[in-house]
Chains A and B, each alone.
Chain A
């Protein structure tokens, strides 16, 4: 099973600042990587798939990069609505695993 490791566990950022979240896979997943946002009491929302493609309706301040085993989600200028937990997920041959999540909190 591919293990996904996210860092940091918690990221404290001021509104308007840039946030950089990392995700590492225990073996190569090519570009089969997605990012999700989850707010309290809500279902997760897809942000990025294919490592770098924004999902429909996702603002341009969200961007994804990387391939193989190292991936990054960048939020260029944090808005109040962006404070949430973010998960990466790999999918390989229709078997997936999630990272443990990064909580982005207000500094």
Chain B
């Protein structure tokens, strides 16, 4: 069974750093892209970026380029999303999702709620 299990909710202060994770199981982690999607409170889905764990090829939405870093550790089947300096506007639910053969997201993690508040 394909599963993506994300790390738990985080509460951080502005300016702090953060790295959240997404662990894949039940499939060949290095053979599928993993993407990250943001959902701000009460808002829609935003495509952030995607990584191919097999060779670490990474693509970012222009809206998120330079704002976050996506990485993966294939030895432990885990992808990451990180911030070096959080802002209050980073408060959102973040989902990881597996990229299907055609670029759609076929399996999703349960989401990680990030709250940034002073």
Contact = CB atoms under 8 A, between A and B. Distances in A.
Label chain B's interface by main secondary structure. Answer: strand
B61 interface: yes
Nearest to A49: B104
B45 A98 contact: yes
Interface string B98-114: 01101111111111000
A91 B106 contact: no
Contacts of B63: 1
A61 to B, nearest CB: 20
A8 interface: no
A85 B107 CA distance: 18
Interface residues of A, number: 26
B108 A96 contact: no
A46 to B, nearest CB: 5
Contacts of A46: 100, 104-108
A44 B61 contact: no
Nearest to A90: B103
Contacts of B108: 43-46
Contact of A94 (B33, B95, B109): B33
Interface of B: 33, 35, 37, 44-47, 50, 59, 61-63, 95, 97, 99-100, 102-111
